[in-house]
Amino acid sequence: MKKIHGLSFLALLLFLSACQSTQISDSTNQPVGDATSETSQAQQDIVSDQGTNDDEVSTSQNYYVNFTQEQYDELLGKKPFALFFHAAWCPTCVSLEKEILSQYQELPADALILKANFDTETALKEKYGIKSQSIVLMLDAQGNVQQTLVGPVFDQLKTAFETLL
């Protein structure tokens, strides 16, 4: 009986340590799900689990791209957008990403989500006071926060875009 409790405790510790470890992903401006980008295994699994073809995935690139400072600077002053502080090790982030990739066509035509790597975008986190992952900031064209979504589901994101745009 003690062995079972010991093994259960060990399994719990391993699970908790895996949840808290960080994984640094590519922060290029490649679209999420683009076959040429270095995507995380979770992203690859999302695309393959959905059975999407390359045309469907490439269409999402208009809505959901990896954050770069250049893209961010280019958007400022031109159009509202969202910043998604994502971590590949975060189940809530992975779940929302899966919803975005499978339901992107339900977003307003002008919707754009920049996926910021929570583990590496330190200056961006400081600028907006971000303390945890799975945060989506809805920004006006000047980069001012209009709404903060904490661990949202797709329908909340969609509604926030409808309000913002």
Low-confidence residues of the chain: pLDDT under 70: 1-61
The predicted structure's pLDDT at residue 98:
96
Say how many domains are in the chain.
1
Per the domain annotation, does 49 fall within a domain? yes
Residues 6+ apart with CB under 8 A from 71: 29, 65, 114
**Given this model, what pLDDT does residue 60 score?**
52
Q: Taking every pair of C-alpha atoms in the chain, what is the biggest distance, in angstroms?
A: 64
Residue 44 lies in a domain: yes
Residue type, 151: G
What is the rounded CA–CA span in Å between residue 54 and residue 76? 30
Domain span holding position 80:
25-164
Token representation of residue 18: 């895996």
CATH number of domain containing 129 = 3.40.30.10
pLDDT, tens only, 63-101? 899 999 999 999 999 999 999 999 999 999 999 999 999
What's the pLDDT score for residue 61?
61
Residue 55: per-residue pLDDT: 35
For residue 3, is it within any domain? no
Within a domain: 1: no
Q: Is 149 domain-assigned?
A: yes
pLDDT at 47: 34
Strand partners, 138: 82, 147
Q: Is residue 123 part of a domain?
A: yes
